[in-house]
Amino acid sequence: MTGTRGYPLSYQIAATHSPQAYTLAGRLPAGLVFNPATGLLSGIPLESGLFQVTLGATNTGGTTTLAFTLTSRPALANQSATVPLRQSLNLQIASSESGAGVTYTATGLPSGVVLDPASGLLFGSPLQAGVFTSSISVATGGASAAATFTLTATASSLDLWRLANFGTTSNTGPAADSADPDGDGSSNLAEYTAGTDPNNASDVFKILTAIRNVTSYTVTASGKASRTYVLERREAQGSWIAVASVGPLGISGPVTLTDTAPPAKSGIYRIRVSAP
Ligand SMILES: [Ca+2]
Alpha-carbon span 33 to 89, nearest angstrom: 43
173 falls within a domain: yes
Do 164 and 175 share a domain, yes or no? yes
Ligand 1 centroid to Cα of residue 181, in Å, is: 6
230 falls within a domain: yes
> Where does a domain end: 73, 104, 131?
73
Do 150 and 161 share a domain, yes or no? no
96 falls within a domain: yes
Do 101 and 133 share a domain, yes or no? yes
Domain containing 220: what range? 207-274
Q: How many domains does the chain have?
A: 4
Do 149 and 161 share a domain, yes or no? no
Ligand 1 centroid to Cα of residue 256, in Å, is: 23
pLDDT of residue 186: 94
Q: Residue 128: which residues within 8 A CB-CB, separation 6 or more?
A: 85, 110, 111, 112, 153
pLDDT of residue 128: 87
C-alpha distance from residue 195 to each of 199, 233, 247 (Å):
12, 23, 13
109 falls within a domain: yes
Alpha-carbon span 61 to 104, nearest angstrom: 49
195 falls within a domain: no
Ligand 1 centroid to Cα of residue 276, in Å, is: 20
pLDDT of residue 62: 82
Ligand 1 centroid to Cα of residue 196, in Å, is: 8
199 falls within a domain: no
C-alpha distance from residue 253 to each of 131, 160, 271 (Å):
37, 24, 15
Do 249 and 263 share a domain, yes or no? yes
Instruction: Flag whether the pTM goes above 0.85.
Output: no
Ligand 1 centroid to Cα of residue 198, in Å, is: 5
Do 177 and 145 share a domain, yes or no? no
Of the candidates 98, 86, 87, 138, the one whose C-alpha atom is nearest the C-alpha of residue 115 is 138
Query: Would you call the peptide bond into 248 cis, given omega within 30 degrees of 0 as the criterion?
Result: yes
> Where does a domain end: 17, 43, 73?
73
CATH of the domain at 121: 2.60.40.10
Do 102 and 57 share a domain, yes or no? no
Exposed, middle or buried: residue 123 (CB in 10 Å: 0-12, 13-18, 19+)? middle
Kindly give the confidence (pLDDT) of every residue in the chain, 276 residues in length, as a single tens digit, with 9 standing for 90 and above: 899 999 999 998 877 777 788 999 999 999 999 999 998 999 999 999 999 999 888 888 888 888 989 999 999 999 999 999 989 999 999 999 999 999 999 999 999 999 999 999 999 999 988 999 999 999 999 999 999 999 999 999 999 999 999 999 888 999 999 999 999 999 999 999 999 999 999 999 999 999 988 889 999 999 999 999 999 999 888 899 999 999 899 999 999 999 999 888 888 999 999 988
196 falls within a domain: no
